[in-house]
């Protein structure tokens, strides 16, 4: 009997926490985004709709002339990550990978080896504008465009 009441109490607590998180997210969406120069109303509305922006990453070989390992049955899995402001949130492990931020001229402005067991990584605040984010793993380069 005690176990059942404990489980029911735990479930009700979980439901109430989920409801509180959902209310918080709705309040955050409803906040007015201050107008900034050069930002369209569509961009402002898109930013207010989601707290986190999931990054869609492409993949390419760093050096196509390098001999490949035997062909695998499944394609290489791209890292899964999101960004909010200057903070990256890793849903999959990128331990030991190199993270690069390239400016519009293709020059590396920031580079770091991702430490083990990293779930979040804050980018320097001097990075501002549009960048190509690259994650280098072996001979693979996962890349996507981010706006900071």
Domain boundaries, the chain: 1-51, 52-148
- Whether residue 50 is predicted with pLDDT greater than 60 in this model: the reply is no
Per-residue pLDDT tens digits for 54-73: 889 999 988 878 776 666 66
Return the higher-pLDDT residue of 141 and 35.
141
Q: What angle do CA 133, 137, 141 make, to 5 degrees?
A: 45
For residues 146 and 135, the answer to whether their CB atoms sit within 8 Å is no
The b/e string for 25-53 (b: 16+ C-beta within 10 A; e otherwise) is eeeeeeeeeeeeeeeeeeeeeeeeeeeee
- Whether residue 88 is predicted with pLDDT greater than 70 in this model: the reply is yes
For residues 135 and 142, the answer to whether their CB atoms sit within 8 Å is yes
Q: Please identify which residue in the block is written with the tokens 């320097």.
A: 124
Per-residue pLDDT tens digits for 1-38: 444 444 444 444 333 434 444 454 445 444 434 444 44
List phi, psi (to 5°) of 107. Answer: -90, 140
Confidence bin at 45 (pLDDT 50/70/90): very low
Tell which CATH architecture fits domain 52-148. Answer: Sandwich (2.60)
Residue 75 has a pLDDT of 76
Give me 50's structure tokens: 């989601």
Is pTM beyond 0.85 here? Answer: no
Residue 86 has a pLDDT of 94
Confidence bin at 108 (pLDDT 50/70/90): very high
Give the mean pLDDT of the chain.
74
Please state, in angstroms and rounded to a whole number, the distance separating the CA atoms of residues 103 and 62.
18
H helix intervals, the chain: 2-30, 41-49
List phi, psi (to 5°) of 135. Answer: -120, 120
């Amino acid at each position: 009997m005690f176990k059942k009441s404990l489980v029911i109490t735990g479930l009700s607590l979980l439901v109430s926490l989920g409801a509180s998180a959902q209310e918080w997210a709705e309040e955050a969406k409803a906040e007015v985004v201050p107008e900034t120069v050069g930002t369209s109303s569509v961009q402002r509305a898109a930013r207010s709709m989601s707290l986190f922006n999931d990054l869609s990453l492409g993949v390419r070989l760093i050096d196509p002339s390098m001999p490949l390992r035997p062909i695998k049955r499944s394609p290489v899995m791209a890292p899964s990550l999101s960004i909010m402001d200057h903070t990256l949130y890793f849903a999959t492990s990128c331990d030991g990978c190199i993270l690069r931020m390239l400016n519009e001229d293709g020059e590396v402005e920031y580079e770091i080896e991702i430490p083990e067991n990293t779930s979040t990584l804050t980018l320097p605040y001097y990075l501002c504008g549009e960048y190509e984010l690259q994650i280098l793993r072996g001979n693979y380069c996962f890349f996507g465009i981010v706006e900071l």
